[in-house]
């Protein structure tokens, strides 16, 4: 029978079959998808074929992964040459960020957005913890909202504590599959608890933000929305390493650069020091945000040359 993966712990999967029931499932053999080396060949959101295990009442075996409509992957933290598939078959992703406690850097936002572009998953930026922002934090927020909305990424300001802005998120999520991603401690699970009444995901107990590297959510998990659609909670990530992008194509994943590159004098321009570069000209005229360009250079530095 056909089923959808709701949770993966590495060795066991929870899958909802088209009989409407949840099954515990194990994977049979080694799956290799598209020939890529991945730490987790089956991810939350994957459609699979389940077979009842002989002699077992409740457990099942995954015998096949059905083709993916799309997926998001990042570098495995343990091995940068391996992929970690964050989730599959997504309509959109919410990058949950915070101005403080913890602070999300613009570089992190940009690496996530580049991956979203490369995997063709529309991204929204959700600033959480509005209730603790002081005036200077709100000024920073307004600046970032302007930067990102001007290049096509919708930006929202919400608070899981006070419920501000939550209603707007409901509308965006209806009948869609939405991935929640972001650093640990930004409030992904807290927001999800507000978005799905009755859900009580574990969130960091201590009030406020007291340390780094303490992940409260440890496995990605999908939840159905009461008004149609579903969402995927994920463990916080420290870094979102981009994968499978070549130096020459990186600017295609920056929408504000993509719009200009046909004006560069050389068609193999990578917009660093070439003469007649339309991107550098726009940068000089402040038509491109300097921090975005800095992110471009930083990501460029992390891309290893392949065969030239
Ligand atoms: N002041 C304030 N605190 C919040 C808000 N949202 C979440 N928090 C607090 O931030 C801390 C982290 O929240 P979580 O929901 O566990 O964060 P998470 O993003 O799911 O973290 P991981 O599961 O580790 O990735 C908790 O102490 C929450 O109470 C908010 O809107 N305002
Ligand atoms: Mg969490
Ligand atoms: Zn150029």
DSSP state of 38: B
Question: What percentage of the chain carries pLDDT values higher than 90?
Answer: 79
pLDDT at 38: 76
pLDDT at 267: 93
Residue 21 CB coordination number (10 Å): 11
Rounding to the nearest 10 degrees, give the CA dihedral for residues 168, 174, 179, 184.
Answer: 40
pLDDT at 235: 93
Phi and psi at 178, nearest 5°, equal -120, 130
Q: Which H or E run contains 108?
A: helix 106-118
pLDDT at 215: 76
- How far is the centre of ligand 2, averaged over its atoms, from the C-alpha of 19 (Å)? 29
218-269 pLDDT per residue, tens: 899 999 999 999 999 999 999 899 988 999 999 999 999 999 999 999 999 9
Which of the pair, 198 or 40, is modelled with greater confidence? 198
- How far is the centre of ligand 1, averaged over its atoms, from the C-alpha of 187 (Å)? 3
pLDDT at 58: 75
Minimum-distance ligand 1 atom for the alpha carbon of 237: 25
Query: Cα(93)–Cα(121) distance, rounded to whole angstroms?
Result: 7
CB 179 within 8 A of CB 72: yes
- How far is the centre of ligand 3, averaged over its atoms, from the C-alpha of 141 (Å)? 30
CB 152 within 8 A of CB 253: no
pLDDT at 82: 85
CB 102 within 8 A of CB 185: yes
65-102 pLDDT per residue, tens: 999 999 999 998 888 788 899 999 999 999 999 999 99
5-23 pLDDT per residue, tens: 999 987 899 999 999 999 9
Residues with CB under 6 Å of ligand 1 are: 128-129, 131-132, 159-161, 184-190, 203-204, 207, 215-217, 235-236
Q: Which residues contact 70 (CB under 8 A, 6 or more apart)?
A: 88, 89, 90, 119, 120, 121
Minimum-distance ligand 1 atom for the alpha carbon of 206: 27
Q: Which residues contact 211 (CB under 8 A, 6 or more apart)?
A: none
Average the pLDDT over each of 26-35, 106-115, 162-171 and give the range with the smallest value.
26-35
Task: Please report how the helices 135-149 and 106-118 are oriented relative to each other, as an axis angle in degrees rounded to 10.
Answer: 30
CA gyration radius for the chain?
A: 21
- How far is the centre of ligand 3, averaged over its atoms, from the C-alpha of 246 (Å)? 15
Instruction: With H, G, I as helix, E, B as strand and everything else as coil, classify residue 165.
Output: coil
Query: Cα(197)–Cα(299) distance, rounded to whole angstroms?
Result: 39
């Amino acid at each position: 029978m056909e089923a959808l993966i709701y949770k993966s712990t590495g060795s066991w999967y929870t899958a909802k079959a088209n009989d409407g029931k949840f099954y515990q499932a194990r994977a049979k053999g080694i799956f290799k998808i598209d020939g890529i080396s991945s730490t987790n060949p089956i991810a939350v959101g994957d459609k699979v074929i389940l077979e009842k295990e002989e002699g077992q009442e409740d457990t099942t075996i995954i015998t096949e992964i059905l083709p993916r409509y799309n997926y998001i992957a990042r570098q495995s933290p343990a091995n940068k040459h391996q992929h970690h598939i964050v989730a599959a078959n997504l309509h959109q992703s919410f990058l949950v960020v915070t101005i403080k406690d913890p602070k999300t850097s613009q570089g992190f936002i940009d690496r996530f957005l580049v991956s979203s572009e490369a995997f063709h998953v529309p991204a929204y930026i959700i600033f959480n913890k509005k209730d603790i922002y002081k005036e200077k934090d709100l000024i920073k927020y307004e600046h970032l909202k302007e930067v990102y909305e001007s290049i096509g990424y919708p930006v929202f300001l919400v608070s899981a504590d006070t419920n501000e802005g939550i209603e707007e998120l409901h509308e965006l999520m209806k009948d869609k599959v939405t991935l929640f991603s972001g650093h640990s401690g930004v409030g992904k699970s807290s927001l999800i608890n507000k978005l799905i009444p009755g859900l009580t995901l574990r969130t960091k107990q201590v009030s406020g933000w007291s340390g780094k590297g303490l992940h409260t959510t440890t496995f990605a998990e999908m939840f159905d929305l009461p008004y149609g659609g579903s969402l995927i909670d994920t463990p916080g990530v420290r870094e979102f390493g981009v994968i499978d992008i070549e130096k020459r194509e990186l600017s295609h994943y920056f929408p504000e650069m993509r719009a200009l590159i046909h004006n560069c004098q050389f068609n193999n321009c990578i917009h660093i020091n070439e003469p007649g570069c339309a991107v550098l000209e726009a940068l000089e005229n402040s038509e491109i945000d300097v921090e975005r360009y800095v992110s471009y250079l930083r990501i460029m530095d992390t891309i290893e040359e392949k065969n030239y």
